[in-house]
Amino acid sequence: MSAPTEQLSLIAPEEPPHAPADDAVRMLLFNAEHASPERSRRQAAWVAAQEDADIAVFTEVSSTQGGAALVTALGERGYATVIAQQLAEADYRTVIACRTAAAHPVQSPVAVTPHRAPAARVTIGGHDIGVLGLYVPSRGPKDQRNVAKRAFQEAVTESLPQLRAAFPDMPIIVAGDLNVIERGHQPPHKVFGEWEYSFYDSFQAAGLTDAYRHLHPDKVAHSWYGRSGNGFRFDHLFISTPHADRLLACDYHQEAHEEGLTDHAVMTLGLGLQSTPSGQGEAPATSSG
């Protein structure tokens, strides 16, 4: 049985610097890099100051004091709902934080280490949004090379077709650090095998569109750099394909990396919503402000 999910709903958080939009999804993806408590609190402050962070998905969150400090600090910084699984064992987890209290955890469709794959239903301006966060394990030690990574990727691939049933008739966003790159990545990296490219392909096969590639089909972008200086596009945001035409923006940002808060670029996504929850065939919103 998986560990229980902790949902923190704080009654009197600090006055947030930004009110959540009601006409668009504004999401931010942030790799916490197993931060210490002090850096976790600085991460929460930085994210809360970003207008495009109504929903913030944090990957590589520690199960120790740093992760606990992040969860607490997000609540103190105006995130009315913070969804994070409590762990009995030492491992990384993924956290979903929302400025609105109209956000609820749902059972993760990923059967293997579900604390790395929390799911939530978030209501924005009367519209329901399905969210799945992912943090794919790295290759691991030599004696267990790729064992955890393969098991988790296989479980995710199996779960992706189930998302439409879990989140019917609503936009679905999958956000995370996948620790894999796309086919045709520039520069190419020989270390990745066919099984890893097939994992990336499984998102499209399940009816999900790479949001960044949809808006920037030919642009070279990297979200993490190795010791040699080579860049990798590890961090990804996917949107349910029927809703891809509502995308307003999807970009990588290096400011948090440059400030020493994380070793990854931050990703942001903007998705326009129909003007009324029941509206059919209406034009998407043009801006979230």
Which tokens in the block code for residue 7?
Answer: 């949902």
CA angle 240, 242, 244 (to 5 degrees): 70
Look over the chain and give the mean of its residue pLDDT values, rounded to a whole number: 87
C-alpha to C-alpha distance for 224 and 48, rounded to whole angstroms? 22
- Per the CB < 8 A criterion, the answer to whether 105 and 83 are in contact is yes
211 sits in which H/E element: helix 211-215
Q: Is the pLDDT of residue 285 over 90?
A: no
> CB under 8 Å to 1, separation ≥6 — which residues?
none
Residue 13 confidence (pLDDT): 52
Token digits of residue 94: 């993924």
Q: How many CB atoms lie within 10 A of CB 47?
A: 24
State whether residue 189 is helix, strand or coil: coil
- Higher-scoring residue by pLDDT: 283, 233: 233
pLDDT for residue 223: 77
DSSP assignment letter at 244 = G
Residue 284 confidence (pLDDT) above 60: no
pLDDT at 59 over 70: yes
Contact 250, 211 (CB under 8 A): yes
Better-predicted residue by pLDDT, 231 or 116: 116
Spatial CA neighbour of 220 closest among 211, 212, 228? 212
pLDDT tens per residue across span 138-183: 865 565 667 899 999 999 999 999 999 999 999 999 999 998 877 8
For the full predicted model, state whether its pTM sits above 0.85: yes
Residue at 205: amino acid letter: A
For residue 138, the model assigns a pLDDT of 82
Contact 66, 35 (CB under 8 A): yes
- The yes-or-no verdict on residue 281 having pLDDT over 50 is no
In angstroms, the Cα distances linking 196 to 26, 92, 146, 181, 229 are 29, 20, 10, 8, 22
**Interval 77-100: pLDDT, tens:** 999 999 999 887 889 999 999 999
Strand 5-9 with 55-61, pairing: unpaired
* Domains of the chain, first to last: 5-272 (3.60.10.10)
Residues 119, 109 contacting (CB under 8 angstroms): yes
Half-sphere exposure of 70 (CA within 13 A, CB side): 32
Q: How high is the pLDDT of residue 234?
A: 84
Q: Which of 7-11, 99-103, 200-204, 230-234 has the lowest mean pLDDT?
A: 7-11
Q: Hey, how many other C-beta atoms are within 10 angstroms of the C-beta on 277?
A: 13
